[in-house]
Every structure is written in C-alpha cells, then in structure tokens.
Structure 1
Amino acid sequence: MASDPKIHSFEEVEKHNQTKDCWLIISGKVYDVTPFMDDHPGGYEVFLSASGKDATNDFEDVGHSDSAREMMDKYYIGEIDSSTFPLKHVYIPAQQAPYNPNKSPESVIKILLLLVPILILGLALAVRHFTKKD
C-alpha cells in the first residue's frame, strides 16, 4: 500500500462503475478492481453491483479467504473521505437472479390446488371402472 494514500471523495468513486473502470470502497479503503474484473470467481457482475456504494458488508458477507484479502493490496488506490458519503445510506443488495414467477412457492401451490381435484376425480373414476360389476 502507498505510504501517503490519496483521499478520494464518494462522488469520485461513484463515477467508476463500469466493466472497464470499476472502483470499490471496502472498510474505508478505495480499490480499483478493473484489472481483476474478468478473473473474479463470482464474475464481474459482483463488482458492478458493489460499485457506487460502500461494499464492506457485501465483501464481509461472502467470507473471503486470507489470500483474497492479501490480493486486495495490489488494487488499493487510496482512502475514502468519509465526510463525502451521502447523509442517508441506501442499502443496495448484490444482484440476484431475475425473479421467475413460474418457480415461486405461490405458483407451485396454485398449480397443486388445480391438479389435486383433477387427480382425485381421475382416481375415483378409475376405482369405479375397475370395481364395477358386470
């Protein structure tokens, strides 16, 4: 790490939120992760979703290894000026897979509620057919 770190404003860091230019704030430090975008095991989307905000919680929630933490040193570019943070922090969670209504629990229940009576009726007709005396 640099001995005399550069101080970056939140507004400056916030502008670096593209695949070819991505900065993150983690524990008050600013990192330019652009060179690591294609190599990150979680994909470049993880970095993009963490840019433009304080990504400390996102980083810590994943449980990075010691070697991953050591690797951060080569991407360190300075400190964040905490006085430039917006007054109200809005938590933006890491991006999730798109919502698929066909896989929601409510959809499964609706389908079962439609199928169960049909299955019962079919079972009743089958029992009646096979137990009918000629």
Structure 2
Amino acid sequence: MAKVFSLAEVSEHNTNKDCWLIIGGKVYDVTKFLEDHPGGDDVLLSSTGKDATDDFEDVGHSTSAKAMMDEFYVGEINSSTIPKQTKYTPPKQPHYNQDKTSEFIVKILQFLVPLIILSVAVGVRFYTKSSA
C-alpha cells in the first residue's frame, strides 16, 4: 500500500538537496533528477509546496518523460490537505455603455449644429445689411 503524505509534509522537501513534487495526486522525489532535468532545477524547485500538475501538463512532457516518473514515485498526496483553487471573479464595476456616450454626443450635436447654422445665417444677414 502506498504511503499517503499531507501537503505540509511534501512542502518540507523544497531544496536542491531534497525536492519532492505533487503531480496528478502522486508524490515524487525528484532530487536525483534535478541536474538532468532539461528545463533546469529551478523549474522543479519552483513547483514545490503545491500541486504541480498544471505546471507539468502545460509543458507538454513526452510519454518517455512520463514513464520516467515511476522511478521517482514515493507515495500519494492526501488531497484534502491541498487548498482548493477558486475561480477568479473580477470585482463588480459599473458597465461602460458606449452607446450612451454616443447618444449624449448626438444630442449635443443636435442642439449645437442648428444653433451654429442660425448664428451664421444671422451673421451673414447683418454683414450684408451693414456693407450695403
């Protein structure tokens, strides 16, 4: 029967001399693999203390890389000790309605354009009377 570890227990193994990862609900001691990892040991060390499944899957490891994992297997993770990820919900903000902004501009123009035309017409009339 596989040994079951808590997240706190696995998190203690977070150095280049003792490095454990959680991937797919399983715990792996990858200390001996740190120097050989194609992405460098920093990538593995940055994935300690958390569920690294998404990190592992996002890279797109080959089937041979996945097969290698068996030799580093040390046990299972007690999933109840891993905090659940919550979905990001953006803060509530008033909705910007571009249509209302353009409605406002149209209303201003509906008022100003006739006023400008009227002013020009009156100005032309006074100019033609005073020059005659």
Q: Do both share a fold (TM > 0.5)?
A: yes
Equivalent position of 1:74 in the other structure: 71
Whether 1:23 and 2:20 are equivalent positions in the alignment is yes
What do residues 15-73 of structure 1 show as CA deviations (whole Å, max 9, x unaligned)? 11000000000010000000000000000001111011000000000000010000000
The residue identity in structure 1 corresponding to 2:50 is K
The residue identity in structure 2 corresponding to 1:35 is K
Aligned with 1:78: secondary structure? strand
Question: Which of 4, 7, 10 lines up with 1:7 in the alignment?
Answer: 4
Q: TM-score scaled to structure 1, two decimals?
A: 0.62
Question: Which of 59, 81, 85 lines up with 1:84 in the alignment?
Answer: 81
Equivalent residue pairs, number: 86
User: Any gaps of 5 or more consecutive residues in structure 2?
Assistant: 87-132
Answer with 1 or 2: which has the greater Rg: 2
Deviation at 1:87, TM superposition (A): 5.1
Distance in 2 between residues matched to 1:36 and 1:23, nearest whole Å: 11
Deviation at 1:86, TM superposition (A): 3.0
Sequence identity, in percent?
64
Question: Which of 38, 42, 50 lines up with 1:45 in the alignment?
Answer: 42
Distance in 1 between residues matched to 2:24 and 2:38, nearest whole Å: 21
User: Any gaps of 5 or more consecutive residues in structure 1?
Assistant: 90-134
